[in-house]
Structure 1
C-alpha cells in the first residue's frame, strides 16, 4: 500500500510519535510525505519515505495529484483545526480528492490508529476492492 503522511506544524511531534509506535507496520508499505514532515519522520525512525515539497511550496498538491491518479491508498493528515496557519497544507482539497477516489483519510490520531490497526490485522487488504463492490 502507498501511504501519505502530512502534519500541520503543531501536529508534527504527534506524527513522529505515531510513526515510532507503528514503525513495524509502516515499514511494510510505501510511504510518502510532505517535505518537512517526511524529513522529521525519517530522522526519528529511519523509515524510507518519498519526500515531496513542503506543504507551503505545494507538497500537499503533489500528494493530491497522486491521489487523483490512484497512486495513494491511505492518507494520514494530522491537522490542527484550531490554529492552522495560512501557509500550511489545505485539508479541504485533499479530503475532497480522497472522497472522490474513495481513499481513506485520517485527520486525527484516533482514526489513524484504527486504520493502521485494520491494515495490520489484514481485515482490509485493498481499499480499491471495497470501492469497486459498490
Structure 2
C-alpha cells in the first residue's frame, strides 16, 4: 500500500468517495466512483485502501468486486477520514523557515503551541461532522 499523504486533495476525494458509497446499498467498483467524481480511477485506487484499513469501507476484490461502507454514514466522522488519510499533521509546514535565530525561545515555544492548537482545532471541528451530515436531503 502507498504511504499516507498530507493532501487536502486526497482528503477531499476520500470524503467525496464515502458520500458516493453512502448513496449505494450494493458494491460499487472504484471505476464507477471515480467516474461519478470526475477523477482518475488510478488516483482513487490509491486512496480507497486507506479507508479500508481504517475500517470505514469494505472491499471485495476481483471481477465482481467493489467497495461498500463498513458502517452507517452517521458513524463516520470527518476526523475518522482525516486520520485514515494523513501521515503528518495538517499544520506541519507552519514553522518551516530557513532562519534559526529569528525569534527568542519563548516566541518559538509560543509558535509551537499555536501549531499544536491549530491541529487540535482542525480535529475537533472534523469530529463534529459526519458523512451523513454531508448527504443531500432526499425528501
TM-score range, shorter chain: under 0.3
TM-score norm. by structure 1 comes to 0.27
Higher strand share: 1
Whichever of the two has the greater Rg, that structure is 2
TM-score norm. by structure 2 comes to 0.26
